């Protein structure tokens, strides 16, 4: 029961975010496939090649990205959709008041397959076959670090839905790259108060 309540407290609300993006989100529709999307999709968040590596070929693709500011922080959401196959790769980053330990406890059993953990310069990664989550310390604008019940943080989740181009280890890595790029963009545009360094890319995940 305790783990369930923790999950409810810090889980990224995918359905609510996608619905809100439908009303308020930024939208571009392209009729010549993934290669005609912007070089960086979702208002500059994610490299087009990262999304293209995950999704099947298509004649029509769309991408949406939106930053929402809330009373307790912010949420950034990004997704790229292949219309013909209803395939999606998406990522959501949301501020939370959760320690790294609480976050790790809350995601136990969330994904499919072997769980791979990785740390890189203050960036914590947990990857499964079908999704990746990223944890970074982040004090949102207007908040004081010492006022947190645990630790102000930014928690990002990325996953694919439907058919994918990549499979196996390659798909796992692509989802992880998408999650990392989403987290990096959200951290910067959300103006987290810490000075977290973000390399161009994370170390590659080990093979499953």
Which pLDDT belongs to residue 7? 55
Q: In this model, does residue 26 exceed pLDDT 90?
A: no
Question: Do the Cβ atoms of 171 and 95 come closer than 8 Å?
Answer: no
Q: What share of the chain is helix, strand, coil (3-state, %, to 5)?
A: 30, 30, 35
Lowest mean pLDDT among 9-23, 78-92, 194-208: 9-23
pLDDT digits (tens, 9 = 90+) for 84-112: 778 999 999 999 999 999 999 999 888 88
Give 83's pLDDT tier (boundaries 50, 70, 90): confident
Residue that is written with structure tokens 């571009």 in the block: 28
Average pLDDT, the chain: 87
Distance separating alpha carbons of residues 43 and 66, to the nearest angstrom: 8
pLDDT at 15 over 50: no
Give the model confidence (pLDDT) of 147-164 as tens digits: 999 999 999 999 999 999
- Are 165 and 56 spatial neighbours (Cβ–Cβ below 8 Å)? yes
Q: Is the pLDDT of residue 31 over 50?
A: no
Tell me which of 162 and 8 has the higher pLDDT: 162
Residues in the chain: 208
Nearest CA to 156 out of 104, 92, 100, 205 is that of 92
């Amino acid at each position: 029961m305790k783990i369930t309540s923790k999950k409810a407290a810090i889980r990224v609300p995918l359905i609510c975010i996608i619905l809100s993006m439908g009303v308020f989100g930024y939208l571009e529709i392209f009729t010549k496939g993934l290669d005609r999307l912007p070089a960086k999709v979702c208002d500059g968040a994610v490299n087009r090649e990262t999304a293209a590596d995950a999704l099947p070929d298509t004649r029509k693709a769309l991408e949406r990205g939106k930053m929402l500011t809330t009373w307790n922080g912010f949420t950034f959401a990004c997704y790229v959709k292949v219309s013909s196959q209803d395939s999606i790769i998406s990522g959501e980053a949301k501020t939370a008041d959760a320690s790294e330990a609480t976050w790790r406890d809350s995601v136990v059993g969330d994904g499919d397959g072997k769980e791979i953990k990785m740390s890189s310069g203050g960036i914590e990664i947990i990857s499964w076959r079908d999704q990746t989550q990223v944890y970074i310390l982040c004090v949102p604008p207007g908040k004081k670090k010492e006022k947190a019940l645990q630790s102000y943080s930014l928690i990002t989740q990325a996953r694919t839905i439907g058919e994918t181009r990549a499979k196996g280890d390659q798909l796992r890595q692509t989802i992880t790259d998408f999650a990392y790029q989403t987290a990096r963009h959200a951290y910067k545009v959300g103006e987290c108060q810490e000075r977290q360094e973000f390399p161009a890319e994370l170390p590659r995940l080990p093979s499953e």
